[in-house]
Amino acid sequence: MPEVQSGAYTIRSHGVKVVKTHVQDWLILLLLGVTEIILNIIEPFHRFVGQDMMTDLKYPLQDNTVPFWAVPIVAIVLPFAVIIFYYFIRRDVYDLHHALLGLLFSVLITGVITDAIKDAVGRPRPDFFWRCFPDGKGVFDPITKNVMCTGDKSVIKEGHKSFPSGHTSWSFAGLGFLSWYLSGKIRAFDHRGHVAKLCYVLLPLLLAALVAVSRVDDYWHHWQDVFTGAILGTTVSSFCYLQFFPPPYDMDGWGPHAYFQMLAESRNDLQSETSTNPISVRQTELESVNVETQSQVETSRLNTGDAILDGSRSGMTR
């Protein structure tokens, strides 16, 4: 099992190379970000809400326990802080880059799926009555009995985005990815029975669950919205993590796939260099042997010629 050489693959030495090999992934992330913005701008489907349906939609309209601006902090900034902390320990740009890429993919894919379903379904929130009729006086169509809202348009628009819960799906996407990441780094499944490691792994999921519960407590979502958002975020984060990292129970579960691929390519290059050098050495040895053989033949010929001349001269003398 190869270990990461601390400081061998830093942002300065290999950062540009790693980013260049994943330019297409970063462009897809940009496209997902633009899509997410568009999905939040367009008007959601306004589902029929009859007068008799208002019984379950009269929960009080109140502020969020977890505000909208806090969701990116919980789902992106907090996991990224842990990833950065690990980079300063091991100085591995492959891990830093692919963890950040996987985290952003996890959150943005989850966000696009969540908001696309929100806009398509248009389910009213539990506090929809007070969004639609802030003065408490319900107005309905005399024929269809559909609501005829008198409230602020932006508040009513947000009231048609109950299913699934965006707070929940984003939290489970980002913190779910962090849970996968921690389990690989601390080797939670090394068969040594350290239950404390599981506590570290489950801590991000607990935080995501608390965010999900707050959505029901604030009457912004039905329990089905929260449950579906948790399943969606967890599923997407799992796929995104395993796209860049081996499973945590794997022997090499602590590092990204790209790191081990880079090691394999480097090993193959070294083997190819060492395999070509002996051939050249053998060729030079053969050439030297041939030269030595030719010189020996020429020497033997000269010696033979000298012996013949000496023999003829002695015959003439006699």
Task: Return the active site residues.
Answer: 167, 221
Which residues are bridge partners to 9 per DSSP?
92
- DSSP secondary structure, the chain, as one string: -----TTSB-HHHHHHHHHHTTHHHHHHHHHHHHHHHHHHHSPPP----BGGGGGGG-PPP---SS-TTHHHIIIIIHHHHHHHHHHHHH-BHHHHHHHHHHHHHHHHHHHHHHHHHHHHH-PPPTTHHHHH-TTS---B-TTT-BB---S-HHHHHHHT--SS-HHHHHHHHHHHHHHHHHHHHTTTTSSS--HHHHHHHHHHHHHHHHHHHHHHHTTSS-HHHHHHHHHHHHHHHHHHHHHHS--TTSTTTTS-HHHHHHHHHHHHHHHHHHHHHHHHHHHHHHHHHHHHHHHHHHHHHHHHHHHHHHHHHHHHH-
Give residue 168's identity as a one-letter amino acid code: T
DSSP 28: H
- Cis (ω within 30 of 0) for the bond into 164? yes
Report yes or no: 42 and 120 within 8 Å, Cβ to Cβ. Answer: no
